[in-house]
Amino acid sequence: MTTTVLAPTQFEVKPLPYAYDALAPAISSETLHYHHDKHYAGYVDKLNLLVADTPYADRSLEEIIATSDGAIFNNAAQAWNHEFFFEQFSPQPQTQPTGALREAIDRDFGSVEQLHAAIRKASVALFGSGWVWLVKDSTGHLSLLSTRNAGTPIRHGLVPLLCFDVWEHAYYLDYQNRRADAVDASWGLIDWQKVAQRYRRGGAGH
């Protein structure tokens, strides 16, 4: 007789949408194994332990992020941020934004190249661990937002379009202290078709 044990696990680790070696050499297979399987999965596992037998146990990730603080917020937001981050890359990306998104970038940053430069600058300027985001506000204006640690734009009512993980765990194996180089390398893996979907959808989901 077999017994099926139902683990009280609410949130699942989403698999990478590409092979571990698909983004190399910009992001190595070793980095993705650590980043996805250890860091991101660790946040999901910790969140499941933290929310068990609490009112958060049957809430969505977004609902938890909106209303929690402390360790539950940190792990829920990091789970969400990482899913959003991994999803934006592709080994065969659409390498340039087009259409309405391109027009909005040109309007609010001057050009795609200037957006890239602004993201690089913000990434280097962020002291410690955190994220740099391209966000859209309720009027459609695009801007950059830097958040510390697990901070996330969906807590601020902003629509995230793109993010750069500038925690050292995201790049240290490949780039050591060269955070700007890591940002530049991953820039070319951004699938602007996915960013455009986020831009059109406009909500905080992904």
Residues of this chain that bind Mn ion (CB under 5 A): 165, 167, 170
Nearer to Mn ion, 56 or 167 (CB): 167
Question: Rounded CA gap, 84 and 162, in Å?
Answer: 8
Burial class of 131 by CB neighbour count within 10 A (0 to 12, 13 to 18, 19+): buried
To the nearest whole angstrom, how small is the minimum distance from the Cβ of residue 130 to Mn ion? 10
Q: What is the nearest approach in angstroms of Mn ion to the Cβ of residue 15? A: 16
Rounded Cα distance, 127 and 148, in Å: 8
Report in angstroms how near the CB of residue 135 gets to Mn ion at its nearest.
18
| Nearest CB to Mn ion, comparing residues 134 and 182 | 182
Instruction: Note whether 197 and 175 are within 8 A (CB).
Output: no
Tokens (6 digits) for 164: 């750069």
Nearest residue to 81 (alpha-carbon basis) of 175, 138, 173, 146? 146
**CB-nearer residue toward Mn ion: 11 or 167:** 167
User: From CA 120, how far away is CA 72, in angstroms rounded?
Assistant: 30
Closer to Mn ion at the Cβ: 41 or 180? 41
Angle at 136 between CA 134 and CA 141, to 5 degrees: 110
- End-to-end Cα separation, the chain, in angstroms: 42
Q: How far is the CB of 99 from Mn ion (least distance, A)?
A: 30
When the beta carbons of 32 and 204 are compared against Mn ion, the nearer one is: 32
Q: How far is the CB of 81 from Mn ion (least distance, A)?
A: 7
* Residue nearest to Mn ion according to CB distances in the complex: 165
CB-wise, 97 or 130, nearer to Mn ion?
A: 130
CA distance 7 to 52: 10
